[in-house]
Chain A
């Protein structure tokens, strides 16, 4: 039922296909390319696209296609996990403040306001500068730690919108008669929140979550672009953009590729969010 309604949303379907291509390309694509080593600097020329290097090579002679796909893994992973984390934190805080109200609501919302007052980019810059190169958890590859750290930083600083949204939804849902009905049969707070309130607030949460993925990918790119995110030699769309700007005149296409990737990913995700919202709402019959 939900699937059928989703399939009617053409843009969302097209976006899903696009996103699947991007994800598959990033995850399994590199296996079909000639072996790529980020440390291999034997090709020192910036090349225009050739058969051997379909998208050319960058200033260090690395194959741009390979880097683009590897970067996709990184950017998608960071964007997705940051968004999931942000939505989880936001939903939790929004649910608690919206359901219990009174001083809990006041406390939670003032905290949210406080977080909203902090300039996000500055905070991200400071945090990543502080934690850069430190080993926080032993036995995990430092590159992976770096990724997880950036995801956590972005996630932990972008939950406020979702918290406000969920709180608002809960405030209005809480007054509905079916919540009273659940109370009258003896439903506990946890039951009411998980069985009634969250399912009813799911549509806006979904939309917010997809927007969040796009935003997180853009934030990660921005952070990497400023040199505070993913560090070379590990590629990300953001740091590829950053590198490319030095050669804007000579090889402008170097900037275009990661730009297109970011654009396509974010646009696809947003359309999918739209489609999901329409499909998940049983009141919208078409």
Chain B
């Protein structure tokens, strides 16, 4: 693994405006879906991005690929700031970065044969003649474990898992270096999830891919990620290697999330951190630390001062006033159930 990041995200923000009025529209507020993100993705690694629904993780993936225009910030890919690129240069860059979508039922055009769908990136960029395109489609279908003879069929003839393989084949068609996997297995049966995850894993080794793997399931993310980032309400609260994060979660939110992962062994007793209340509205995020309204260890300082996202040692980043100053043990936290 090299030391120069493939992707650098700095102060990335997306505020969706809220308009009122029909004739004279005025902005009355904004949904702060993503509110200041900083992280790097190293070449060849898988960065997992987790958080509950509405925390802005999918928006982050789309902002990086410029499927949504960012409000502020920089996304540097291979030395170029993507957010500043003119449309034609951006189109060229898309050859290097692709996305696998969450919903395999909506992400394939129902009127297009899957062969045409997979060939779309090649045709859009005018790569190769028709014979070469057909050959590549057959190759890709085979690689993702589907018969090349399926290329003339339509998406409705396939199961969810098969469609997700087709979506992966399409993302691979143009030989990208970086893939945003936006909850690629959340919509699939548990029995199929592992197959697709293993496929993604194998493809990474084979083609030297870099993944940004978005998910809400910590077990899934642990399985595939080298490093994991946890988001809460548009901000990152913790980022570390899988080992660091799973063995020694530092942010109370991460601790709560990890304690909610189902344990297959019923005889094993363990601590549960139960969070009170719902995720606050991203229109009006809480002052200070955004997590203080639900945090079991919140103090006065958390209500007024937004904690910085700092390195607590060997790249384990945390945004919490209790770190690195105080390392609270998980046991005995107020609100935890013994």
Residues on A facing B (Cβ under 8 Å): 176-178, 180-188, 191, 195-196, 199-200, 202, 282-283
Contact = CB atoms under 8 A, between A and B. Distances in A.
Contact of A200 (B106, B110, B167): B110
Interface string B141-180: 0000000000000101000000000010010001000000
B103 interface: yes
B28 interface: no
A4 B111 CA distance: 18
A178 B105 CA distance: 9
Contact of B112 (A183, A184, A195, A202): A195
B65 interface: yes
A203 to B, nearest CB: 9
B82 to A, nearest CB: 13
B335 to A, nearest CB: 39
A47 to B, nearest CB: 56
B260 to A, nearest CB: 28
Contacts of B95: 186
Contacts of A199: 109, 111-112
Contacts of A200: 109-111
A185 B111 contact: no
Contacts of A181: 99, 101, 107-108, 167, 170
Contacts of B106: 176-178
B77 to A, nearest CB: 14
A196 B107 CA distance: 12
Interface stretch (B45-53, B119-127, B209-217, B289-297): B119-127
Nearest to A191: B124
Given A282-B154, A282-B156, A283-B156, A184 B110 contact: no
B112 A185 contact: no
6 contacts: A182-B120, A185-B98, A185-B124, A186-B125, A199-B111, A200-B109
Closest 3 CB pairs of A and B: A185-B121, A177-B106, A186-B94
Given A185-B98, A199-B109, 12 more contacts: A176-B106, A177-B102, A177-B103, A178-B117, A180-B107, A182-B120, A182-B124, A184-B94, A185-B124, A188-B124, A199-B111, A283-B156
Contact of A282 (B101, B107, B111, B174): B111
A186 B98 CA distance: 10
Nearest to B102: A177
Contacts of B26: none
Interface string B66-93: 0100000000000000000000000110
A interface secondary structure, majority: helix
A283 to B, nearest CB: 6
Contact of B107 (A177, A191, A195, A202): A177
B interface secondary structure, majority: loop
A196 B123 CA distance: 14
Interface residues of B, number: 29
A183 B124 contact: no
A184 B98 CA distance: 7
Contacts of A196: 109, 111-112
Nearest to B108: A178
B120 A187 contact: yes
A110 to B, nearest CB: 13
A177 B101 contact: yes
A283 B102 CA distance: 21
Contacts of A177: 101-103, 106-107
A261 B235 CA distance: 70
Contact of B124 (A176, A187, A202, A283): A187
B174 A184 contact: no
Nearest to A198: B111
A32 B233 CA distance: 80
Contacts of A187: 120, 124
A157 B92 CA distance: 43
B240 to A, nearest CB: 29
A282 B95 CA distance: 31
Given A180-B67, A200-B109, A185 B174 contact: yes
A187 B109 CA distance: 14
Contacts of B110: 178, 200, 282-283
A200 B103 CA distance: 18
A221 to B, nearest CB: 36
Nearest to A182: B120
A187 B101 CA distance: 17
A177 B156 CA distance: 15
Contacts of A176: 106
Contacts of B111: 196, 199-200, 202, 282
A186 B112 contact: no
A134 to B, nearest CB: 44
A32 B106 CA distance: 56
A282 B108 CA distance: 14
Contacts of B103: 177
Contacts of A185: 94, 98, 120-121, 124-125, 170, 174
A247 to B, nearest CB: 53
A183 B102 CA distance: 16
